[in-house]
Amino acid sequence: MQRELVLVVDDNADIRHFVRTSLEEEGLRVIEADDGSSALSKFHDSKPSVIILDLSIGQPDGFEVCREIRKTSTVPIIMLTNRGEEMDEAMCLAAGADDYITKPVSSRILNLRVTTQLRHRSLGVVIGATVLEVENLSLNTESRELIVGTERVALTKTEYDFFRLLMEQPTRVFTREQVIEAIGGSVDFSSDHLLDTHASRLRLKIKAAGGPRVISAIRGVGYRLIPLQ
């Protein structure tokens, strides 16, 4: 079986060498890019399983590269940065990144984050199909039914629209604005509290049916279906 491929994007050759060495020791294949343009080219040519993307790579920068990839792909993206401010994390997640690591990072943490993303990617979510499946959750997009294990969970129209958005890309963070756009025709959203209430009700319904803990709120950004471990 072919080993998973990771694209590492950083303008620092020492960082790229460190990441390559760490991941190859875990049995992964690695390709490298030192700027945004070559990163996009190698992404389209090689179709990696995970992308490790530094923010400060010139123009286009990491944010722009991430947003461009998100137009066509749900490949897991882990952002790297030297900065540790909360706003940087929020901006990474809002751009479509799945995870965020502040340098310097140990080999152990780096490998853990990458294997976590590979595990989530292997859950087998199919977008655009009749049924979306994540772990023991199954959402039928024709009947609009949510099945948790073997139990049917009734959803309101707003809850269905909310949950379908998250099910389509379970490890991606969707901003509050994106969630509101997806379900805005269902109800008048006058406050963030109302959106949080819908997320809370979905969590309770799924938990009551014996399902996993899902819908993670990312402070200042929005929501993702599957929390990172």
Q: What is the pLDDT of residues 25-56, one digit of tens each?
A: 999 999 999 999 999 999 999 999 999 999 98
The pLDDT value recorded for residue 209 is 93
The pLDDT value recorded for residue 202 is 93
- CATH 1.10.10.10 residue ranges of the chain are 131-224
Spans of the chain below 50 pLDDT:
1, 126-129, 185-190, 229
Closest to 176 in 3D by CA, of 135, 216, 229, 220: 220
CATH for the stretch 131-224? 1.10.10.10
The pLDDT value recorded for residue 87 is 57
148 neighbors 181 (Cβ within 8 angstroms): no
7 neighbors 16 (Cβ within 8 angstroms): no
Whole-number Cα distances in Å, 11 to 51, 60, 102, 138: 14, 12, 16, 42
Partners of 80 in beta bridges: 54, 101
The pLDDT value recorded for residue 93 is 75
The pLDDT value recorded for residue 2 is 64
Fold of 5-121: Rossmann fold (3.40.50)
Count of CB atoms situated within 10 Å of the CB of 127: 9
The pLDDT value recorded for residue 62 is 92
| pTM for this prediction | 0.65
Q: What is the pLDDT of residues 184-205, one digit of tens each?
A: 644 444 456 778 888 998 999 9
The pLDDT value recorded for residue 123 is 56
The pLDDT value recorded for residue 226 is 77
- CATH 3.40.50.2300 residue ranges of the chain are 5-121
The pLDDT value recorded for residue 207 is 93
Token pair of 86, please?
A: 């909360």
The pLDDT value recorded for residue 228 is 55
The pLDDT value recorded for residue 186 is 45
Type of residue numbered 219: R
